Structure 1
Amino acid sequence: MKIEVNVKKRYFFALLGILLVLGGVFAVYAYNSNPPNPRVFGHTINEVDGITCNSGQAVTRTAAGWSCVNIASSGGSTPVNPVNTLSYFEDFIDRGDTSEVNHPGIISFQGYAGKTFGYIHSKDMFDITFLVKGNGTLYGLSSYESFYVGLVDASVSSRIYFFISGGNWQAGTRNGGSTKVTNLNTGVSIGNSPEWFKLRIKRVDAGTIEFFINDASVGTINSNVPVMPMQIFAATPGEADGRLHVLIDYIDLKITNLAR
């Protein structure tokens, strides 16, 4: 009888040991597995294509569907700066802002207005996507080479970004100033007619940034890549007569850490 009890105990502890080992393996796998897909904010291109708002307005979803809402004063050279209106990051906000239900999915900027959001440290993995569209009444977005969108440091001297030159989208990195610059001509023409562009910036590894336009890779940059906390930022054309406003829709963000 004693032997039978000891045998049962041995089987029990052997089974327990196997379960503990398997549990450890699954825990390690779960910890080291790929991060989940990024949370999606905003909307698809098809949902808003064809909707045109005036300067100082944003597109938002209401019970009746999509509509244009006023977000700040505009006209002349007064910039639209919807600091207290748009909160995209929910718990990622680092300035004390709170998320809003049915927040506007598109920002309409006028003048020299740069809207900064949360901080990302460029040493960590990140993957960020914007939708951008120029609604110029006289000229298309390609005429306004002061526009850019991407990541910048607090002084705006370091950047990982898309910008405009020669009528094409350019990708670039700047590490501390204009002398440490690497630019990449994507070959993607902007044109003068209003068109949505899907711009994506992804950190591939410790020193490489990959750029995408409309889901197609347009190249990588592995030099002059800044390593520091950076803001999501848009610098817009400063036309005092209001001939152009830029629609910017933040789509998604995937990061491993958030710089504080």
Structure 2
Amino acid sequence: MAKTKKSFDYGDPFPSRFRNLIEKKRATLDALAAEFNTTRQTVSNWQNGVTVPDAVSICDIARYFGVTTDYLLGLTDVKTIETNVRAVAEYTGLSEDAIKALSDPYNPHLQCEINDIGGTFSAPPSAKDIVSDFIKSKEFSTFSFEMTKFFSQYLRFAETYKEKREWIRFAPRDEEFYKKFLGMWDSYVEDLGAPDFFSGYFSSELADKDKKDVEKRIDELCSDKKDSQGDVLWDKMAWNVASSEAKEETNGSDLSRFRIQQAIQSYLDDVEGSIMNLVLGDESDGENH
């Protein structure tokens, strides 16, 4: 017979989500202890994974924070207790906020309606109708595939950028730093047959006095000074270097963006053709009568 688990690890779903909910609600441990009819230490143990709350306490916690017990225990990533929203979120993978926005009849972004053209439409299609129709179209598979690629490529670029800016800002200013900093520009002349052009010259050719001058200039570039456009120098450098190193990702994302535009345009062309056929059909029917 399996034993009941007496504690979680700190990073397990329940303590992690419990801490996050406490932080967002800005609740104090004393207030939670009073709410759950327990002690401050017990609540602290729950949020740190030291002990596991019983079933009644888990239900009380879920009710207090307005989430499901399944969410607290890591069985779903959907927080809401609204069963319809939860079912759609788990089926489609969309966020709760996205589902609520799409289903909100007062959402201003979905309020626009196309005017009825000469009685062509039995009821004017809304923006929601058009989005729904697009999802069912053959172009949507291309759109969704390229959109996923687009974001994954830019996330990789963003990670490279983040690493560069953290390194430029916080790395110890030793000779290894200056060599690596200059090495970021080696790739620009590598195609000319001069690998390690900047970093190698700094390491082996420069006299100590000249090295100090180079280091001083690099320190200035890595300070919080701003250029004429108001951009912080070290941040702009991190962006440029990340763009160079992540060229494949950024080029790929440009291609994905183009294919997304193509898919949307192809769908719109089909819609335009259908509308024109309906309008022209109505006109010919009128002439025949």
TM-score by structure 2 length? 0.18
Q: Which has the higher contact order (CA 8 A, sep 6+)?
A: 1
The structure that is strand-richer by fraction is 1
Structure number, greater radius of gyration: 2
Relative to its length, the structure with more helix (as a share) is: 2
Give the TM-score normalised by the residue count of structure 1. 0.20
